Structure 1
Amino acid sequence: MDAVAHFTQLARYNVWATARVLDAVRALPDGDYRRDVGLFYKSIHGTLNHLLVGEHHLWFVRFAEGISPKVALDAELEPDRARLDARLREGAARWAPLIASFKPDRWNGTLDYTTMRGTAASLPFAATLAHVFNHGTHHRGQITAALTALGQPCPELDFVYFLQNPTKP
């Protein structure tokens, strides 16, 4: 599989899995949604905000524009649940078109950026893009564990399930 096809599939999975998690989270009362349930970013809301920061305000901008914004990883960029949901869905949908825009030589190159500590970094381009999707998978997994702990149903998010059912909500 070529890099564009592979990463486009990961971007599609990201859209699919993000939608499934957000649909499951909608059923939570606000108190449970914002309660510290022991996640790294404390609450489901905090973790979703972290995904907004990491995937869309840091990494997307680094890949799309070549700049490194300054924003705290625990910033609450969107306090409103409905707007956070919409921004995460919209942000996830932006990755596939960006991937399609990359020139073939970019895949074997590097991504040069500035870390949150202000240090210059240069990492393998494709592996760093893989990190973005892996990062989302990690935090969605935390959210599904929190849903289970709160006595709520959680969606099946395995990549294999996506491959078997790519259009199933």
Structure 2
Amino acid sequence: MNLNVYFATLARYNVWATQRLLEAVADVPDDGYRCDAGLFFRSIHGTLAHLLVGEHQLWFRRFAEGVSPVVALDADLVPERQALAAQLLAGARRWEPLVASLPPERFDGLLNYTTMRGQPASLPFAATLGHVFNHGTHHRGQITAALTALGRPCPELDMVYFLQTQPHQESPA
């Protein structure tokens, strides 16, 4: 399998799922949006704020710029919810062009970075990139659980539903 194509698909899925989730939380009253729902980052807002930090402030910069910023994983960098939603969606849209710019051999290499504790780390590039998209899926699932607990409708975010909206690509023979 061509890893550029695979990760481009994951990047497009990430945009699709992020957009659908943000639409679902847009009309949640602020008390429900910010209440402690028992999530790891407490609230819907706290979890979205964490996604901004993890996906865009940390991992994107590690992959795209080769830098490892230090920022708290629970930092609320954008407290205003519409601005946070806009930044999450804009950030999600940056992954596909990054993936497209990578030479195929890059996926076989390592990602060298500095951990949040200041320790050097070196992980398989492709698997770590997969972690970024898996991490977003994990936290979107937590938010859908919070929406359910609030009695709110949840969007269907399974990747198979996204794939059904995409043109089928034939595998090379």
Quickly name the TM-score band, shorter chain normalised.
Answer: over 0.9
Which residue in 2 is equivalent to 1:50?
Answer: 50
1:114 deviation in Å?
0.4
Q: Distance in 1 between matches of 2:29 and 2:100?
A: 39
Matches within 5 A, 1:64-83: 64-83=64-83
TM-score where L is the length of structure 2: 0.95
Q: Distance in 1 between matches of 2:105 and 2:4?
A: 11
Which residue in 2 is equivalent to 1:147?
Answer: 147
Q: Give 3-state SS (helix, strand or coil) of 1:70's partner.
A: coil
Q: Does the 8 Å CA contact 1:4/1:99 hold for their aligned counterparts?
A: yes
Q: Distance in 2 between matches of 1:99 and 1:52?
A: 19
| RMSD after superposition | 1.0
Q: Give 3-state SS (helix, strand or coil) of 2:123's partner.
A: strand
Q: Distance in 2 between matches of 1:46 and 1:59?
A: 18
Matches within 5 A, 1:121-136: 121-136=121-136
1:5 deviation in Å?
0.1
Matches within 5 A, 1:68-107: 68-107=68-107
Q: Distance in 2 between matches of 1:96 and 1:8?
A: 5
1:158 deviation in Å?
0.4
Q: Give 3-state SS (helix, strand or coil) of 1:41's partner.
A: coil
Structure 1 residues 135 and 36 mapped into 2: Cα distance closer, same or farther (>3 Å)? same
Deviations 1:82-122 (A, max 9, x none): 10000000000000000011122211000000001111000
1:127 deviation in Å?
0.2
Which ranges of structure 1 fall in alignment gaps of 5 or more residues?
none
Q: Distance in 1 between matches of 2:51 and 2:64?
A: 17
Q: Does the 8 Å CA contact 1:16/1:166 hold for their aligned counterparts?
A: no
Q: Residue type of the partner of 1:128?
A: T
TM-score where L is the length of structure 1: 0.97
Q: Residue type of the partner of 1:67?
A: V
1:165 deviation in Å?
2.5
Q: Distance in 2 between matches of 1:166 and 1:44?
A: 29
Which ranges of structure 2 fall in alignment gaps of 5 or more residues?
168-173
Which residue in 2 is equivalent to 1:19?
Answer: 19
Q: Residue type of the partner of 2:72?
A: A
Which residue in 2 is equivalent to 1:165?
Answer: 165
Which residue in 1 is equivalent to 2:170?
Answer: none
